[in-house]
Amino acid sequence: MAKMEKPERRSSKRGEPERRCVLSMSVEPIEKMVRLVLGPEGILVPDVAARLPGRGVWVLTDGDTLEKAVTSGNLHKAVARSLKAKLSKGAVPADLVALIDGILERRCLDRLGLEQRAGNLVTGFDKIKAALGKKGAGMPSLIVAATDAGEDGRVKIQRAVGKHLPVARLFDRDALSKALGRENVVHVVLFKSGGTEKLKADISRLLSLRCQAPLSCEVQGIEE
Of the three residues 94, 110, 128, the one that is the final residue of a domain is 94
CA-derived radius of gyration, the chain: 20
The amino acid sitting at 158 is Q
Q: How would you classify residue 205: left for phi > 0, otherwise alpha for psi between -120 and 50, otherwise beta?
A: alpha
Question: What beta strand segments (E) does 15-139 contain?
Answer: 17-20, 27-29, 33-38, 44-47, 56-60, 121-123
Average of per-residue pLDDT across 65-69: 98
4 inside domain: no
Q: Residue 223: its pLDDT value, please? A: 46
pLDDT digits (tens, 9 = 90+) for 128-150: 888 877 766 688 999 999 999 88
Instruction: Look at residue 222 and tell me if it is in a domain.
Output: no
Together in a domain, 55 and 144:
no
User: pLDDT tens digits, residue range 10-53?
Assistant: 544 556 799 999 999 999 999 999 999 999 899 999 999 999 99
Domain carrying residue 115: 100-217
As a whole number of angstroms, the distance between CA 56 and CA 148 comes to 38
Whichever domain contains 188, its CATH number is: 3.30.1330.30
pLDDT in tens, 192-205: 999 999 999 999 99
> Is the whole-model pTM more than 0.85?
yes
Q: What is the CATH number of the domain that holds 49?
A: 3.30.1230.10
Question: End of a domain among 94, 117, 147?
Answer: 94
Asked whether residue 183 is assigned to any structural domain, the reply reads: yes
* φ, ψ for residue 123, nearest 5 deg: -120, 150
